[in-house]
Amino acid sequence: MTGLRDHLHGLWLPLVTPFQGGALDDRSLRRLTRHYGGQAVDGFILGATSGEGMTLRGAEFERLVAVVRDEMAAGGRSLPICLGLSGADTSRLQERLDETADWPIDGYLIASPYYVRPSQRGLLAHFEALADHAAWPIALYNIPYRCAVNITNQTMLRLAEHKNIVGLKDCGASREQSIALLRDRPKDFRVLTGEDANYLEALIDGADGGILLSAHVETAIFAAVYAELKRGNHDAAQARWHEVAELTRLLFTEPSPAPAKYWLWRSGLIDSPEVRLPMVEVSSELAAAIDREIERRRKVAA
């Protein structure tokens, strides 16, 4: 497979991590991989926010990657995999990069340091130290409403000059900042939105794709939005988007990924909607709303 930069476009899925009885559920993970490996998905992110990576132990991370790779090989399709990493200790993250250097992955998605709120100089030094150290390319993850710090465009453009930093998952929550970055970025620096509800808007603004939890559901429609825009069919893209726009809101009504896991469980793709504390399963009210939406979509498809 060629480098991550060449594959960082289109629709990427931040795969949920299925659990059963507190443990990683290999059977459900294989089922998920088979299912989405047959969809119009351009890559997987494993162990990131949607994959509850903050709760995974090192051996579970390794097992997650191994099972997904093995199941893709059995299905005859090879998709790029990025491993989600996060932390507030640069040296500890460098150790994680060493520990995963020989894993069958294609790159990393690394979020800003959380809680400590470093300066822009600190962010620059942090990510450059990681990029210098990493055996695989890095995509940055800017999500200030989770990490309490924003990577400014000035810092981002400096980081984009690093040969081992190839792109960005953009959850900056500022369309103005995103548009300016898309305008000023190097031509080979990839930007994918991570804001599900703003997917169409971001693509119209020039983003290279999306990393979308919501695309666990109606995957083909999310992929079609991107494909129609690439063909210049804006009206068709808008029409497809209208089919899933409300879905992106429903799946974030309560903390993610619990709503998506409940939907996948009700759809038979995973054997349990289990999440790990401090996440909890969806409320009875949201469960009922999701059940109604599943039934509505089944009737429309019939």
Enumerate the active-site residues: 141, 169
Distance of CA 291 to the CA centre of its chain: 25
Q: Helices 153-160 and 175-184 meet at what angle, rounded to 10?
A: 30
Nearest to 72 by CA among 107, 9, 29: 29
Q: How far apart are CA 93 and CA 188, in angstroms?
A: 26
* The pair of three-digit structure tokens given for residue 48, joined into one six-digit string: 């990131």
Q: Which secondary structure element, helix H or strand E, spans residue 5, and what is its range?
A: helix 4-7
Q: How far apart are CA 150 and CA 144, in angstroms?
A: 5
211 marked as binding residue = yes
Cα torsion for 129, 133, 134, 135, to the nearest 10°? 160
50 marked as binding residue = yes
Q: How far apart are CA 29 and CA 31, in angstroms?
A: 5
Residues at the binding site are 50, 211
Residues at the binding site for pyruvate are 50, 211
